[in-house]
Amino acid sequence: MATEKMPEGTLNLFKDEKAISRYVDILTNRGNEWGLLGPSENERIWSRHILNCAVLVDFIPANAKVADVGSGAGLPGLVIAIARDDIDVTLIESLERRAKFLELAIDELGLADRVRVIRGRSEDVQEKFDVVTARAVAALPKLLGFTCDLFLPKGQLIALKGKNASVEVEKSRAKLKKLRASAEIIEVHALANSEPTWIVRVTSKEK
């Protein structure tokens, strides 16, 4: 499959063109070979994956400590790490093959000084983070269950969701109430002409 070309305006989001281009190369080659990304995704690697993840960047505070849960191929964790050189990112991934992919990518991208991999489940990680990110990991009620201890009460969860984000939020009302947290849905565009992305941001009411 032909790889999608970098859309015009993308470099406004990434200071390091070499790093983000190298990451796309890793995804569309080793990512395909290792079964982390289907070959058909190469045709929309920028629009569906890189830019979709890049929308999170503006919601992360300066010098934040970030955890990306269920990191998989590094979407969105490695994307935001490349876009923001002021943040430390922990990629949490339970599957050995995916964790190994992430470790190799971190080394090749020169990010080892501020990006690390924890191979394990989110609920077993005994740390607090300023921001927790998630993409295509679980429906919001379940996601809250295994991430709440990572970011509450002082941090935030920013999860990439689809058009039905409002349905997930509604189904999470009881869980949010129990956690004394609130959720807001934000529609964003990485570029002026790009497809919309929906973010669900969860924060504590006690902050």
Name the residue among 66, 69, 82, 77 with its Cα closest to residue 119.
69
* 23, 98, 185, 47 alpha-carbon torsion, rounded to 10°: 30
75 is in an annotated binding site: yes
* Alpha-carbon distances of 149 from 53, 86, 138, rounded to whole Å: 23, 24, 16
70 is in an annotated binding site: yes
143 is in an annotated binding site: no
* Alpha-carbon distances of 92 from 24, 31, 33, 44, rounded to whole Å: 20, 18, 22, 25
* Alpha-carbon distances of 53 from 9, 88, 140, 171, 180, rounded to whole Å: 15, 17, 17, 24, 27
Binding residues for S-adenosyl-L-methionine: 70, 75, 122-123, 135
Binding residues: 70, 75, 122-123, 135
